[in-house]
Each structure stands twice: as C-alpha cells, then as structure tokens.
Structure 1
C-alpha cells in the first residue's frame, strides 16, 4: 500500500511557521492494480481477497487467467457486502444494471473492498466486526390479526390502478432516488422528501383497504423465510384456490421507495406463465401483506433432482418459461435469476416463473442461495460486465436445461467464488450427456450458451426453434410431480 494511506506525523513545534500544515487525505481511493510477480503470484489485491483465492483457485489458474480471478473475487465480495446490508431483490432494468456496474467499480476502490467476511480480518490482520444484518438472521413472525366483525364487503374491492405512474416512470423514479451509497437512508429521505409515514400513506393508496381476513384464510404453514419476510400458504375464500402471502415488516426496509414502485409495476404485470400479483394489504403494525398465486405442484427443482425428464418434457418447460421471459423482456425487465427453484408447477403441469421482483418469491429456498444472484446459473457477462443485458436470462435458461438433464447445474458442488471463476474463465460448461442428445436439443442449447452475447439467441428467436415443436403436453409433467412429491414426502 502506498504511504499516502499512512497517518501523517504532526509537524514539530519548532518548524518554520511558513510551512503549511497538510491535513490528512479525504475520500481516499484504495486503488487496486493487479499484476503477476516473478513467482507467478497475484499482487495488488487486498490480502483478505488473496486469502479467499488461495483456498479456491489454484496457482496455475491464477497465473493463466489473472483477469478472471480478479473479476470473480471482485463480484463475489461485492455481492456478499450487498447481502450483508440486507438489500432486497428488486425488478431489474438495463439502467439499473449500469448503476450496479458503477457501484461495483466504486466498491472496488473503497475501504470496504479491503475487508473480507472470510475470517473477519482486514488487510492488516485486525479483526472486523461481524455484520448482523444478513439474510440468515431470524425474522420476527407477526401474529395474524384477529378477524374484524363482518362488514358489508362481499368481494374484494378492486385495487385502484396507479394511472400517474407507468412502468417507465417507476423505473425512472427508482433510478433517481438511488444514491451512490444505497445504505445511506438519510440521504434518500432528504432527496425524496418522504418520511416513513409518507411511504406508508402512499403505499395504502396502492393496496386493498379491506381486512385480508375477509378474503383469505392464512394457514400457519411457513413456505419460507428470507430477507424480505415470511411467506405463508393461504386460501382465497372466494375461489377456494391456494395463494401465498408474503408478510413484509416495512420498518426493517431501508429503501421503502422500492416497495411503492415495485407494487405499482407488479400490478401491471399479468401473464399466464408468471406467478401473478393478486392483492396487497397494509396491516395495523406496519406490515405489508402481498398476496401472490401459489402452485400446488411445487418448484421444478423437485422434479429435476428426483426424476428423469424426457426431451419432450424439457421442451414443454422451456416453451412456457420462454414465454414468461419474452413477456418480461417486452416490458423492459430482466429476470436475472432463471433456475429451477424459480419455476413453479401446478399439478396439471402448469409452468410459471416467479421471483422477478421483491414481492414475487413465494417459495423460500435459500439452501442454494449463498450470495446475491445465484452464481451457478449466471452468465459470464454478469461478472465481467461486458454487454450485460436481457440475454443473461437466455444463458440461465441454457443452464437450467443442463439442470433438467443432469439433476443439477454445472459447478454446484464448488464453492460460490470458485464457481464464479470457472464461469468467467471457461465460459460455456461441458455437458456430460452431450452425445446422447438429439440434434435439435444440441442446437437449442448452443443458441442459449453462446459466450458471445451477440451470437446468443433472443427469447423470441428461441420460441420459433424446431426443438420446441416436439414438446410434450404439459399434463405429462404430472406423473413426475407426483413421483417427486412421494420421494420427498411432500404428498
């Protein structure tokens, strides 16, 4: 480290008065310049990062591809830092990708980059405090409010549409209210001039004013717990259909403006292959209840891990998922986390994509969520930040096909940092059963897993691919769903 980062000694009392006293530097950038020394070792990275690399990336790999090492460890540590701050997952647009890229570059040259969660040691070996606000911290589970006396409401009132706030407007609103340091809530409030009470008031305008107990019976069955809250199974009293209720404690959300914009966006999303938003209520204790569709077949993960899918069934799933991706892309939204965990099935074979915004994840499965943006399905350009856009979802779909073939994505048994390195360094992964696949499926995968983004297909192009013409009927998925439920004791 350069001497400029050391504390300057105070001038002697007998120093000439004409000599100006130079203050300590402010807003110092801890610039990181990576090089390889004569021994083939990486130099210039924070020692905390070098400790991570030393356990997961070999010396030969460091020498042969130092740029991939730097990109992987940089993105990994940024993601961990973001996770520790408890930042929520939100709807992704291309302007937000540019904003995130700038945040990553800023983080690279910040003091935080010289600290590591691994071992909680800084560059000088001093112990750092453990961050308390992590995704694994226990969430409080609020008690369901008692049912109010019967009212004259016979059906849920229609949630008013937010005519003054279009999808483009909400994206612009989110872009304008995000600061260079998203953890600086005071800055956000000063800039937006909204207090917590203002946010709650505006949120109530978007939500159903009635009592949720008049419309839904919430069970005590916990579908999952995450950074945003607890998800419960419930039943729609009017239709008898199962729904999911996500219970969000708004007092724990730093960026409450996202709650406003995301709900406004979600209300305008409606597609047969998306897990759709149904309703929302602001409760008496500043909890937000978001009601979403719930499919009784469970996640595709159960099917791919416990059964063997035929090519026709894989084509059927791909066809449905691609329709959802194409719809999201047409609305200027990138999913960025396509994987089997986020594809839900109905017992009739219905296929729906979930988790494309903070309130859309209705099945909590954080067993494989070791960092923000699951790495194993991640496109190389997410890490390298080159031509990063909608086609990241197509790469992830290709990895999900590998998952449907092999039962798991490539590198799943590797630690996240090493997986990121392998994705960045190797690009397209090897597919064990490649020689056993039909020519149509091989070509379909080829068009998904192109490292060159310009050569990768779009969702619209893939929907016309010959592989999908041979798809099986969705009802052929039902026996696989039942078999997986029996094996996993979820029947």
Structure 2
C-alpha cells in the first residue's frame, strides 16, 4: 500500500509540475476587457428557475441541462452526482481555428479544440461542463470549461459570461482558481483554467467527512481569506458551497465558479436572487437588498456542513428549508465544539450588519486554537 501511495503521489506531483509551466515567466494579460469580444451573438431567450436541489439557481435565469464528455483513452470519466442529457463534446463540423487573447502558457496565437485530448469530466456548472484536458503538443494539463453559445443566448446570459471571465482573470490569490485564457469556435466558448487534482471539496466531504476541527478550521480560514480578498476588490461571489471549492495539494482549497459573481461598489446593494437553496441568506430569501455579507452567511453554512456533513437548515422541501433559514432555526449536534458553535452563530446572524467580519473570522479562537496543527 505504501508503494502504491508513493507512486500515486509521484504521478500527482508530475501533473502539478506540468501545470507549473503556466507561471514560468510567461504570464501575461489573459481576458481583461477583451473578454467582451469573445461572444458576439444577439441577445434573446427565455427565463426560468433551476429546480435541481444543490445546483445554483436564480428565478431570473434558467439553468441549462448538462452533459458528459466523450471517453478518452488517457483518462476515464469520473462519476458525478448530477445527471443531464448526454451530449458529445467534439469539434464542430465546420471548425476554424479560433483566436486566443494572449494565451500565457503556450506562447501561440491560436487554439482550437483539436489541440486538446479531452479527459474525464470534472464537474458541471450552470452553463457549462468542465473537463480535464491535455494539450497535445506540450502535454500541459488543465481544466477546460465548455459552454454552448446557443445556450448562453437562449438563457440571455452573455453578460454574465463576460463578467465571469473579466472577474476571474482579474483575481490572483492562492485560494482562488486561476483563469489562463479562453478561445471559441462556431458552437462553443472555452475557458482554460487551473486544474486541481483532488477535485471538489463536496465529493471529498461526502466520501470522508465530516471533518475534524483541525481540517475544517484550515478550510474555513482559507475561504475567509479568499472572500476577504474578493470583497476588498468589491466582488461578491454569491455562490459559496463545497461544490464550488476545489482541492489541491497540502490541504489547500480554492474557490471556483465565478458565474454568479458581481462587481458591486461599496454602499451599493444588490437585488438579484441567486445561489444555492441551502446557502441562501435571509435577506436573499425575503427579496431584500443585500451586500457582500451574503458571502459571510454562506461561509457560516459551509463551516457547519464541513463539521456535520450536512447544511444547518436542510429539509426535504425547499419551502421548509426557507422557513428554517428565515426563522433562524439553527440547531447543533452535541459533536460540535463550543468554539465552532460560537463562530457559526456569529456568521449566521439574521441581520447582515451583525455578522462577524471576515478579518475577525481569521482571528477567531476556533481558528487560532488549531492553526498550529495545519
């Protein structure tokens, strides 16, 4: 077993070394303002609501069905807990080489889907599917998010997509996934992103959880630091949950999926309802204006779920969950330490202004008590 583990770790390290080529003195601007030119299509489509329980949703936009990738000989597809209509991810029949805006890791001026081997499916987003891919020429391994142009138009989310690219390309933090570049063809747009070999925190939590206080506090600290960084740049994530957190080496976790993120100046409050049912704050459910404190609430739900292995307000129906959230019906099992309970209560204050700051989260006794063991 030790020999197998050593071999597996060696292979993971090799993949990580391949990924490190991206930052080997070749960094340059990726998307920036040029992202607005990626998708030049007309606006239109219908609006709706996603009804998938743990999927992100908004009553103002519909969520498209998602598919599995084709099998690739160099990697087997992994199982996922979300299902959808099967669709092949193959190059378009009429496939011209699309342009990439200054790709920082390959040093070439254009890319197409033909340049990559498509591997296992890593996850599903609201408007796209994410795969592990390998660049054929260099062997570089990264994650590719593929989105159908027709779906972006149908559900009228071109602006949301451009915003996602602009926001993610502007962020540089050890606990936020990197966006390396993008390209497009006749049918789809593709984002090339950092690949984290250990996958979603959600899957690890369900397989091995709940986590003890040492592990959980480490993850919570990293997420608090990442959100604090985003909020200082006036960016609200709006969809914090274990499915949107990826795991790297050394228990490093990284927040991903900026599809619902928004740039919101200080003092400006938002109204759009979006996020995941179990993670919605009271002000979102009751259609009140909100600010970046919705991320603080979500961090409280995440903290609880990491320790208990289920969200604090989870019920069989959406309405019952909403009722518990709005009424503040927060219950703790006996297994949760008093320090952890204290932090969770301070994160899950009903009034947004009463919630603990992210800076104070990082200094909370529950965090400091376990920090030396990370």
- SS of the equivalent of 1:224 reads strand
Q: Residue 276 of structure 1 corresponds to which residue in structure 2?
A: 178
What is the distance in 2 between the residues matched to 1:444 and 1:239?
A: 47
Query: Does 2:164 match 1:262?
Result: yes
Equivalent of residue 142 in structure 2, options 243, 246, 249? 243
| Alignment TM-score, normalising by the size of structure 1 | 0.51
Q: What are the Cα deviations for residues 118-176 of structure 1, in whole angstroms up to 9, with x where unaligned?
A: xxxxxxxxxxxxxx985466374341379x9xxxxxxx87359xxxxxxxxxxxxxxxx
Q: Residue 416 of structure 1 corresponds to which residue in structure 2?
A: 318
| Structure with the larger helix share | 1
Alignment CA distance shift 1:388-1:267 (3 Å): same
**1:31-430 map, 5 Å:** 81-83=48-50, 135=65, 138=85, 140-144=87-91, 158-159=102-103, 209-212=109-112, 217-235=116-134, 242-254=141-153, 255=156, 256-283=158-185, 285-307=186-208, 308-357=210-259, 373-386=275-288, 388-424=290-326, 426-430=327-331
Alignment CA distance shift 1:398-1:265 (3 Å): closer
- SS of the equivalent of 2:292 reads coil
Q: Could you list the runs of 5+ residues in structure 1 that have no partner in the other structure? A: 1-79, 91-99, 108-131, 149-155, 161-207, 360-370, 477-491
What is the distance in 2 between the residues matched to 1:238 and 1:462?
A: 45
| Alignment TM-score, normalising by the size of structure 2 | 0.66
CA RMSD of superposed structures (Å): 3.7
Q: Could you list the runs of 5+ residues in structure 2 that have no partner in the other structure? A: 1-46, 67-83, 262-272
Instruction: Compute the displacement of 1:471 (Å).
Output: 3.3
- SS of the equivalent of 2:291 reads coil
Instruction: Compute the displacement of 1:300 (Å).
Output: 1.5
Q: Residue 44 of structure 1 corresponds to which residue in structure 2?
A: none
Instruction: Compute the displacement of 1:460 (Å).
Output: 2.0
- SS of the equivalent of 2:250 reads coil
Q: Is the 8 A contact 1:313 1:472 kept in 2?
A: no
Instruction: Compute the displacement of 1:446 (Å).
Output: 2.2
Q: Is the 8 A contact 2:277 2:318 kept in 1?
A: yes
Structure 1, 329-338 or 231-240: larger mean CA deviation: 231-240
Q: Is the 8 A contact 1:234 1:245 kept in 2?
A: yes
Alignment CA distance shift 1:259-1:340 (3 Å): closer
